[in-house]
Amino acid sequence: RQVIAQPEEDLYRLLSSLQHKEFLYEQPAFPEVEYLFKHALTQEVAYNSVLLERRKALHERTAQAIESLYRATLDEHYSELAHHYTRSGNTEKAVEYLHLAGQQAVQRSANVEAITHLTTALELLTTLPDTHERAQQELTLHLTLGVPLQATRSFASPEVKATYTRARELCQQVGETRQLFRVLFGLRTFHYVRGEFLTARELGEQLLGLAQREQDPALLVEAYRALGSTFFHLGELGAAQAHLEQSLTLYDTQRHRSLVFLSGGIEPGVFGLSYAALVLWYLGYPDQALEKSKAARTLAQELSYPYSLAAAWVYAALLHQLRRERALTQEWAEAGIILASEQGIPIWLGQGNVLQGWARAEQGQSEEGITQIRQGLGTYQALGARIFQSYYLVLLAEAYGKAGQAEEGLAALAEALTVVDKSGERFYEVELYRLKGELLLAQEGKSQKSKGKSQKSKMTDPRPQSPDPQAEAEAEAYFHKAIEIAQRQQAKSLELRAATSLARLWQQQGKTEEARQMLAEIYGWFTEGFDTNDLQAAQALLGELH
């Protein structure tokens, strides 16, 4: 009635005629029935038979009718309006509704649909005159587009970098401080996920400076969290804890929940709690770490954003891996894998596979575990992601060690060391050196066993083989280096693990008292987590050393 100026009875008569001839069929709907073409080909022929200018006019009038009739519920019709205004040739209106439809799709996690709407809007925008308003619109579109691109093609993809780089140029052009924060946040995340932590820290410090100048709590929450997580990867645990605590103190679930749609699904509360849990474990508070991880999962469940929920589950798996809890690592990794697969979030799929592979290897399924870890690393690296890479390579080395393949494990550690030197990702550096010592001893033990078997075939009463002093000296040096790094980083949990390895070696060398004193000192520092595997292993060894 709004589009075609004909009486209602004539319209119903025409619709009835088309139904009778089986061009259309009627479908029940509220508040009025809907009519659909029976065949798509009929619709296409009918549509193309209308002259182009007439078609444009009909699209324009249809869009205007929707705006008029559904003024109160216009948000339910953004996609339709974008479609009609795009076809009508009304570029300004088309861009406006394509952006609104894109934003709406982002909020529903319909990322592919969002990318389609927003890229179409950017293409149309190039046909408009080059004005300040157009630059402002383009900036807004790029910022919105960055979010679904990060989710579907990874934070480290070239498309993400291009989007935020262009947005930064536009910010300089239009002078937008608040939007500059979102741009720098996107660029910082790109470099962070690529494992370029020094650049990420520099951009994080710029973010904090902007947020402090604006005195905006929402921006401060994100800036402190971003810097805190970067400091964690750099192995600066004290700074990481201070920044994450600041972020969580300022965080308010209700006021800041909308931030998730502006930062690629990174909900600051969920990610802040998840990283705070990791930091607490490192600093020697395993039970408090567990509480923070539970809080992250609870919040993620309440908010129900797929990206953040998958992240909370994968980070829970990561914490349980650090606590050496194989079954729980596998359980949470599997939950993350399933959700990431359903939602098309490859970055959590890759990480989940690595963690589940480690759990399998620990439970005796060495070959399956190694295969899954390598598969997860492949998925991850194909996205351009390098964050956590040194950690995952250490897990691969550990799985090789479990399988009795010390040489392959040492090769994985050599690769991890290269990553550490290049990226500055030092949060798991302690384990890299500790495990290197353990694998050297395992390799030497295997060699000695092989020599013993060879001699046994030639001798009736072979003498026991003595350990290789050079291998032991090398291993001891690596254990000392691990302890030194752990002390510098304040990583008490990893210091305990390295001290346990060194004490066990000293025990074998007959240095029982030195081993007991050293291990008792670090073990005595702990006030919680006595049911965890590392503390129980240390306690058991202390019992042997007394």
Report CA dihedral (112, 114, 117, 118) to the nearest 10 degrees.
Answer: -110
Global pTM? 0.83
Residue 97's φ and ψ, nearest 5 degrees, are -80, -30
pLDDT of residue 462: 33
pLDDT at site 457: 41
Q: Alpha-carbon distance 142 to 183, whole Å?
A: 9
- Token readout for 16 is 């009835």
Give me the pLDDT at residue 467, please. 61
Cβ-proximal residues to 216 (8 Å cutoff; 6+ apart), any chain: 178
- Express each pLDDT in 290-343 by its tens digit: 999 999 999 999 988 888 899 999 999 999 999 999 999 999 999 999 999 998
Q: Which of 376, 304, 385, 307 is nearest to 343 (CA)?
A: 307
Higher-scoring residue by pLDDT: 463, 32: 32
What DSSP element (H or E) covers 517? helix 512-525
Q: Reply yes or no on whether the pLDDT at 273 is more than 50.
A: yes
Rounded to whole angstroms, the Cα distance separating 427 from 424 reads 9
pLDDT averaged over the chain? 91
User: How many helices (H) and strands (E) in the chain?
Assistant: 26, 2
Q: Is 196 helix (H, G, I), strand (E, B) or coil?
A: coil
**Stretch 427-448: mean pLDDT:** 89
Q: Where are the alpha helices (DSSP H) in 363-468?
A: 366-382, 389-402, 406-423, 429-456
Question: Are 443 and 410 in contact, with CB atoms under 8 Å apart?
Answer: yes
As given in the structure block, the two tokens for residue 530 are 């006595």
Distance CA 142, CA 135 (A): 11
Compute the chain's Rg from CA coordinates.
30
* Contacts of 280 by beta carbon, 8 Å cutoff, 6+ apart: 241, 286, 288, 289, 292
Check residue 452 and give its pLDDT.
53
Measuring CA to CA, how many Å separate 228 from each of 40, 116, 188, 514?
A: 54, 34, 13, 38
From the number of C-beta atoms within 10 Å of its C-beta (0-12, 13-18, 19+), residue 36 rates as exposed
- 10 Å Cβ neighbour count for 104? 17
Q: Which amino acid is at 305?
A: Y
Least confident of 42-51, 90-99, 151-160, 269-278: 151-160
SS3 417: helix
CA distance 208 to 250: 14
Residue 26: strand, helix, or coil: strand
CA distances from 34 to 17, 31, 45 (A): 15, 9, 20
510 vs 1, higher pLDDT: 510
Mean pLDDT over 27-49 rounds to 90
Mean pLDDT of 458-467: 40
**pLDDT in the model for residue 460:** 37
Residues 97-125 have a mean pLDDT of 92
CA dihedral 226, 231, 234, 238 (to 10 degrees): -160
Mean pLDDT lowest among 226-240, 332-346, 447-461: 447-461
- Give the DSSP letter string of 455-518: HHTT-SSPPPPPP-HHHHHHHHHHHHHHHHHHHHHT-HHHHHHHHHHHHHHHHHTT-HHHHHHH
Beta-carbon-side half-sphere exposure of residue 120 (alpha carbons within 13 Å): 24
Q: Say how far apart CA 62 and CA 51 lie, in whole Å.
A: 16
Do residues 297 and 336 lie in contact, with contact meaning Cβ atoms separated by under 8 Å?
no
Question: In the predicted model, is pLDDT for residue 458 greater than 50?
Answer: no
Is the confidence at residue 258, as pLDDT, over 70?
no
DSSP single-letter state for residue 230: H
Q: Is the Cα torsion angle 486, 491, 496, 500 positive or negative in sign?
A: negative
